[in-house]
Structure 1
Amino acid sequence: MQESVARGFRAYTAKHLDDLLRRAGLDEENRVRVRAVATVLPFRTNSYVVDQLIDWSAAPDDPIYRLVFPQADMLPEADVSRLAALLRSEASQKEIQAIAHEVRERLNPHPAGQLNLNVPRVGDEPVPGMQHKYPETVLFFPKQGQTCHAYCTYCFRWAQFIGEPDLKFASGDVASLVGYLKEHPEVTGVLITGGDPMIMGEPVLRRYLEPLLDLEQLESIRIGTKSLAYWPQRFVSDPDADDTLRLFSSVVEAGKNLAFMAHFSHPREMEPPIVRTAVERIRETGAVVRTQAPLIRSINDHPMTWASMWRTQLAMGMVPYYMFVERDTGPQDYFAVPLARGYEIFRDAYASVSGLCRTVRGPSMSATPGKVCVDGVAEVGGKKVFVLHLIQARDPDLVGRPFFAEYDPEAVWLTDLRPAFADRFPFEPSLADRVPLARRLSA
């Protein structure tokens, strides 16, 4: 997307951060510490978020402020103090970025094997900018969509936005995508993701979507985006808004289910009237708007927040889809909610809405083996356990089969859990599979 005067879009980046932090009432010491965090994690917001969504009288505690602005305690104290000292001493950017790189490497920048486990191949050659994690679905990352209208502080794809080429994952080659799909007729759905694909103008977006419309095997095209929350003008008043909606209509007219995967993290993101207008215009194309977001401590970790979101989404014609668990990357320690508490929040919210809102699933972990859902806490054979199942899995045979983990009130991710009533989880290799073949033959 061209950030032009015609669009009216104004981005704020790290160079604007100190002035915005003054507006939030932070003193000099805290501003330096926040800027230290911003040397490690990306910062970007825009005039719509700043002027229309943030309640500056409540900053820095306002949830939308916390949604887009770094916090001084998001990273380990020693790292923040070290970087803050470099900023105070006006150290060189090379020195600052060297330390920032060290910190990033400890933050698991690519969870669930994003750089290697999910990359499709044609012969022995990897196809860049694609992931094929589940048999029926391919993810595609267009290179022009590798930014967003604003960055969420908890984003699990933060590594895409920090300017390190080795951590970027994208492609501008839609022909390779089409070729791969033709070789894999089992794929029935493509998810266009990023970054945010809706940062692209209509002519660029069209170059990626139109070649997919002639593939008979494709039943659905999904677009993952935060644009309805952070820049609804994209579908209402931007110069190419009407052309974009006509493009959406052409996808539906081609017989494809167009799923607009909207990311809403807090009810306030849906309050501006322009959001309702944008949703209406998208739905008029025949697209289905589905909603999802992670459960984030200090932003939406209350059942009534989620119930309010789901009711509002239903009233606007959107379909509640997923509550995710904060991924094991970036500032997970700052934002994570324990799985036991996450389940309670989901259950209480779910119980307080009508059946039409109960299309939502969760809390779900997008982990290496697949999407693991926490179904509840139960007592089985006198033992307190988590009850879980895989909503989606690398191994389709595991989908929908319940399994158990020992109850741990502090666990925040799948790797914190231990199997109950078994020596391994269903998706883990057996001991025989883990022992090298040579050792088994010599035994």
Structure 2
Amino acid sequence: MTTRYITSVSRIPKLSAEEKNEIGQVEHWFSFKASEYYLSLIDWSDPFDPIRRLIIPDPGEIEEEDGDMDPSGESTYTVASGLQHKYARTGLLLVSDQCGGLCRYCFRKRLFVEGADEVSPDVTEGIRYIRKHPEVTNVLLTGGDPLMLPTTQLREIIEEIRRIDHVQIIRIGSKMPAYNPMRISEDKELLALLKQYSLPEKRIYLMSQFTHPREITSEAEKAINALLSAGVMVLNQTPILRGINDSSEVLAELFQKLSFMGVSPYYIFQCRPTHGNHIYAVPIEESYRIFEEARSTVSGIAKRARFVMSHATGKIEITACTKEYVVMKYHQAADPEEMGKVVVCRRNPSAYWFDDYVSIVDECLLSSVDDRRNDLMASAPPEADTLSE
């Protein structure tokens, strides 16, 4: 089960000296990490290989001063050490500041810089908060990657949560099934732990992060099968990313492969505008087109995913595009009063984030109401004018 991790591009033999020097400049800003297993999936003869783009630093990450280190305003919702409480029924525990690989598009880059202190392996304060809030029915363990913790430490955390009666679901956010699937399939103690606490009435969910169909190898399938056999429910989420999965054919293949092995596609995210992420981002309306074209070619089970933005105000689902408008809905909201709210905006092909639409939201809502009123009046019979006076 021992896996070797590489934390400097200078130690990757497949890269030329020139490439190492160029990429090394990025490492001064954003860290690099990958397992030998994951690097073996790269086709090094292809400079545009999607797996390479996903894990190997790109000079474009530091060419622009763009983005925010906390684009979803997570710090706003930190209520205890290592605990965020943004949505009423969900508590989010940051339990690890380590990952099996560092995604170039990571939205929590701030956790991997010197002096970062948001993560708290000691969950005492967070557990105390959750125990006092009966509205919290599910807890998400994230970070970093919780499966980077020793299994004994993960057991302590899960056991503490399982002692809270009102918490029904435990979720584990992890890219280990892609980055290092052997961490799962070869750890009998981990699988026994998951089986012990993923109960018929209180399941454990693993939120996998397969981003490209080539990550679904025989080793990954073995890890997923081990999780399912342990009674764990597995859902998948990934952003749409330029040069990685920004193709309806690739996304459809990902949906299909996931559904074939028993993993339900859950969320497709709009890439968050984190500092250094712009070269991986796809405009919202283009992302929506890719998403819908992919869904149109797969079965009902494979098309369960929703296309959403994790905005500071909530999880905003992009539900439709007309010739003039984009229709969005609050799938989750930090303010309960906003839950289910529909927002209609004039289309903006250059929009990468909800904030790019904000300045015209009210205008759009008023315009669409006025347009509809005018249409109705224009089509009304003549006597309607008399009746309206």
* TM-score scaled by length of structure 1: 0.79
- The answer for the alignment partner of 1:250 in structure 2 is 196
- The answer for the alignment partner of 1:18 in structure 2 is 10
Partners of 1:278 and 1:197 lie apart in 2 by 16
Matched, 1:173 2:122: yes
Higher relative contact order (Cα pairs below 8 Å, separated by 6+ residues): 2
- The answer for the alignment partner of 1:429 in structure 2 is none
Partners of 1:242 and 1:262 lie apart in 2 by 19
- The answer for the alignment partner of 2:319 in structure 1 is 375
Report the residue type matching 2:118 in the other structure. Answer: F
Partners of 2:301 and 2:169 lie apart in 1 by 23
Which of 108, 118, 124 is residue 68 of structure 2 equivalent to?
108
Matched, 1:56 2:56: no
Matched, 1:300 2:245: yes
Distance 1:171 1:27, change over 3 A: closer
Partner SS state of residue 121, structure 2: coil
- The answer for the alignment partner of 2:291 in structure 1 is 346
Partners of 1:73 and 1:113 lie apart in 2 by 25
Report the residue type matching 1:357 in the other structure. Answer: A
Aligned counterparts, 1:209-228, within 5 A? 209-228=158-177
Report the residue type matching 1:192 in the other structure. Answer: L
Structure 1: 5+ residue stretches without partners: 1-6, 78-102, 121-126, 426-443
Structure 2: 5+ residue stretches without partners: 366-389
Task: Give 1:146 shift.
Answer: 1.0
Aligned counterparts, 1:316-331, within 5 A? 316-331=261-276
Aligned length: 366
Partners of 2:258 and 2:340 lie apart in 1 by 27
Any idea what the Cα deviations from partners look like across 1:121-158, whole Å, max 9, x if unmatched? Answer: xxxxxx2111000011010011xx21111111111111
Partners of 2:150 and 2:361 lie apart in 1 by 53
The answer to which of 412-421 and 152-161 deviates more is 412-421
Task: Give 1:395 shift.
Answer: 1.7
Any idea what the Cα deviations from partners look like across 1:304-324, whole Å, max 9, x if unmatched? Answer: 111101111111011110100
Partners of 1:219 and 1:168 lie apart in 2 by 28
Which of 232, 250, 256 is residue 181 of structure 2 equivalent to?
232
Task: Give 1:27 shift.
Answer: 5.5
Matched, 1:396 2:336: yes
Report the residue type matching 2:223 in the other structure. Answer: A
- The answer for the alignment partner of 2:370 in structure 1 is none
The answer to which of 30-39 and 312-321 deviates more is 30-39
Which of 37, 50, 54 is residue 67 of structure 1 equivalent to?
54
- The answer for the alignment partner of 1:184 in structure 2 is 133
Among the aligned pairs, what percent are the same residue? 32
* TM-score scaled by length of structure 2: 0.90
Which of 356, 365, 374 is residue 301 of structure 2 equivalent to?
356
Report the residue type matching 1:33 in the other structure. Answer: E
Aligned counterparts, 1:240-279, within 5 A? 241-253=187-199, 255-270=201-216, 272-279=217-224
- The answer for the alignment partner of 1:160 in structure 2 is 111
Partners of 2:255 and 2:293 lie apart in 1 by 13
Task: Give 1:254 shift.
Answer: 7.7
Partners of 2:219 and 2:199 lie apart in 1 by 26
Partner SS state of residue 134, structure 1: coil
Task: Give 1:406 shift.
Answer: 1.8
- The answer for the alignment partner of 1:435 in structure 2 is none
- The answer for the alignment partner of 1:337 in structure 2 is 282
Partner SS state of residue 59, structure 2: coil
